[in-house]
Amino acid sequence: MGQGLWRVARNQQLQQEGYGEQGYLSREQSRRMAASSVSSTSHRKQVQGGIDIYHLLKTRKSKEQEGFINLEMLPPELSFTILSYLNATDLCLASCVWQDLANDELLWQGLCKSTWGHCSIYNKNPPLGFSFRKLYMQLDEGSLTFNASPDEGVNYLMSKGILDDSPKEIAKFIFCTRTLNWKKLRIYLDERRDVLDDLVTLHNFRNQFLPNALREFFRHIHAPEERGEYLETLITKFSHRFCACNPDLMRELGLSPDGVYVLCYSLILLSIDLTSPHVKNKMSKREFIRNTRRAAQNISEDFVGHLYDNIYLIGHVAA
């Protein structure tokens, strides 16, 4: 009741001052029309002077028009830069909206080479009807097939002309991709020792500390879960490669491939000892130096101590 009387009194006051409801609304409408006219005028000036990219990205006219910017309105260089951050799935979805932009060969070429760094087909003249988008789908299919059956995956890539039937080419393909299942890859390399030999030679251990080089090696060629002939083969190949990459260091330390082999085995055993929760009494630095120098007498005590510190601070060499 009190609110109703207040509204009546307020309306009478507004009418006396010349601000009736109709007048008030008309004045409010005139203000809005003036503001819209100024906005449209500034917009026309902006269109005449060229498209402002910052304005396109930051300004939205109304809530009803909110959404993603149309990439076709941007310069091609900027549009391709934006799309280059997408993965293959999102790029396929983007092609439903911006077909010409998202199907660009440079975008799919970048996706192929960033995921599979080496393929034999990269260095050949592309066949008729070739497209990097189609190549990406075939590489993805070949990788999935490899993760189920390594031999079938490699044969699939060869049948499509993507990979040459050469141990060196297969080794380069394995070395430059991370989409292959490491357990299946370990089985494949154990069976294909010719590919394993070429894969080892692709590593460059020059000027690397021995434990760090061993970690890098086992990142590409995963160590078996149990000791056996395959692990011995891996350590032997690594030892020869490490010596070949660091001939001056080997002469300075007085080490041969057999000496590096002993040190690698000591590092693996130390890694297990320090990181395993089942080992209660951890090996001390003094014990490691004493045991290692018994097997490799030419090595200095300081060098062996640095090996221990590396494992203690960084962790397992074959994790």
Which residues belong to the active site? Answer: 226
Q: 243-258 in b/e burial notation, b at 16+ Cβ within 10 A? A: bebbeebbeebebebe
d(CA 284, CA 101): 61
- Which CA distances in Å does 193 have to 108, 152, 159, 170, 286? 34, 18, 22, 12, 38
Tokens of 218: 């086992």
Count of beta carbons in the 10 Å neighbourhood of residue 104: 20
CA within 13 Å, CB half, 123: 9
Give strand pairing partners of 205. Answer: none
- Which CA distances in Å does 18 have to 24, 62, 75, 243? 9, 33, 54, 99
Tell me the angle at which helices 257-275 and 210-220 cross, rounded to the nearest 10 degrees: 80
| Residues shown for the chain | 319
